[in-house]
Amino acid sequence: MAQPTIDPVQIKQQQRRTWDAVSAGWEASTEVFERYASRVTARLLDLGGVRDGQAVLDIGTGLGEPALSAGRLVGPGGRVLGIDLSPAMVGAARRRSAGVPAVAYEVADLEDSGRLPAGSFDVALSRWGLMFAVDHVAAFRAVARLLVPGGVLAASVWGPPAAAPVVAFGFAALSQLLRLPPPPPGTPGPFSMADPAALAADLAAAGFADAAVEELAVPFRFASTGRYVEFCRATTPPGLLDAIRERTGDADDPATWHAVGAAARERFADGDGLLLPSTALCLRAATPA
């Protein structure tokens, strides 16, 4: 049977709508998420060797990390540009980065970044952004074009769903409750780069050298089951909320969200709260000098 054709334009439009819709929820969840995600930011800054005076690109910047942290390192002589498909995310990032003059943000798509001059950046960073690319090799080639010779890409993606419950478990629980079909094969998503060997091969195919991929455990903890459910509800895409509404008449249906919390409690209970240890894959690769 022939696989359905993926329309890149349609995918990008859907991604923009989705991230615009969840931007407020992610902004409200910043404190609880960054408490642990900041470990990944720190590792990427270290892998990228970000330092004073450099030009840094942050791809899929979302709410502005790791661009904001990089801006504090490059100093007044450096510059950081964060790009994202979502105007709402870029607006939130600008609010969070007010007072850090080295950092700027633009609504832009890496896979359509020809307007940015080649060799513009010393370092490219991306924290959980690149895995949404439609064509992985083409996206990595676009990054390579924007880097100086010997420039560094340092990025994180999620490991497999079972190893990244902070983003996978809530969606899986809802999908099971609602009996939703899986997305079509080849659809970009959080786990499309979860295979380290395939990830390294794609980097090499794009012209990067010395690609290395490492695992980083991130112990996301929520003070209570209720806080976890609040996080899930805030970051659930509109398509899943529509499915809840169609089934129950209310996207905030108490029984549905209680079931999600109960399933999480059974699996991840840790004292009064929940512990969801999740694996990020951190990669480093360089353009030929």
- The answer on pLDDT for 4 being more than 70 is no
Residues 26 and 96 sit within 8 Å (Cβ to Cβ): no
pLDDT at 185: 81
Tell me if the bond preceding 66 is cis, omega within 30° of 0.
yes
pLDDT at 136: 96
Residues 6+ apart with CB under 8 A from 212: 200, 283, 284, 285
Q: What is the mean pLDDT of the chain?
A: 95
Residues 70 and 47 sit within 8 Å (Cβ to Cβ): no
pLDDT at 111: 80
Q: Which residue has the tokens 């990944």?
A: 40
Structure tokens at 45: 């800054």
- pTM here is 0.95
- The answer on pLDDT for 275 being more than 80 is yes
pLDDT at 126: 98
pLDDT at 190: 96
pLDDT at 25: 98
Q: Is 222 helix (H, G, I), strand (E, B) or coil?
A: strand
Share of the chain above pLDDT 70, in %: 98
Alpha-carbon distances of 274 from 103, 107, 164, 225, 265, rounded to whole Å:
35, 35, 14, 6, 7
pLDDT at 113: 66
- The answer on pLDDT for 1 being more than 90 is no
Residues 6+ apart with CB under 8 A from 122: 54, 55, 56, 147, 148, 151, 152
Domain 8-160+183-218+279-286 has CATH 3.40.50.150: yes
Domain boundaries, the chain: 8-160+183-218+279-286
Q: What average pLDDT does this structure show over 61-67? A: 98
Q: What is the chain's alpha carbon radius of gyration, rounded to the nearest angstrom?
A: 19
- The answer on pLDDT for 13 being more than 80 is yes
Q: What average pLDDT does this structure show over 3-23? A: 88
Query: Which of 18, 25, 39, 57 lies closest to 282 in space, CA to CA?
Result: 39
- Rounded Cα distance, 189 and 76, in Å: 36
Task: Give the least confident one: 5-19, 57-71, 189-203.
Answer: 5-19
Q: What average pLDDT does this structure show over 125-149? A: 97
Backbone angles phi, psi at 212, to 5 degrees: -135, 140
- The answer on pLDDT for 211 being more than 70 is yes
Residues 268 and 275 sit within 8 Å (Cβ to Cβ): yes
Query: Which of 186, 191, 183, 278 lies closest to 240 in space, CA to CA?
Result: 183
- Rounded Cα distance, 201 and 174, in Å: 33
